Amino acid sequence: MFVLVVMQATALRVVVSRSMCYRLWVPTTLLIIAVTLNAVLGQLMLKYAVIGLGGSSALSNLPAFILSAAKSPLVYVSIAIQGFGYLLWMMLIARMKLGLASASVGAGFYVCMALAAWGVYGESLTRLQWLGLGLITLGVSCIGLASAS
């Protein structure tokens, strides 16, 4: 017995065996949330990998940094997460206009990324930066609403 997952624009197709195939319909809203959270998770993992490689000080010797990154399992985990996100993204843009999909994901990504970086890495933003994030999210949301009509 084998399991194969095929992503289509309208559904996930799970093939369990030659005689058993299931189509799972994924709501568009859930897909938007999944793409957003996947992007956040991929970036958090990449940051964790870069910290493990020595952070910004390791960039002083760029060839050594690139070689270390090429050997890092955490970098490959990040690439795998982001690769899966790319597949989710393809499903999403097959259903929606590109501008609307970008606005929908972008509106949540900025705030989720800032909150996740604060929660995981202790990064903080000033009130002015939070205001800027709010304005960006509001602007991106307006673009999305204009694209929907």
d(CA 80, CA 57): 26
**CA torsion through residues 32, 36, 41, 43, sign:** positive
Q: Specify the pTM.
A: 0.78
Give the integer Cα–Cα distance in Å for 44 and 70: 18
Provide the 8-state DSSP code for 112: H
28-81 pLDDT, tens digit each: 889 999 999 999 999 999 999 999 999 889 889 999 999 999 999 999 999 999
Query: What's the pLDDT tens digit per position in 67-119?
Result: 999 999 999 999 999 999 999 999 999 988 888 888 889 888 988 999 999 99
What type of residue is 20?
M
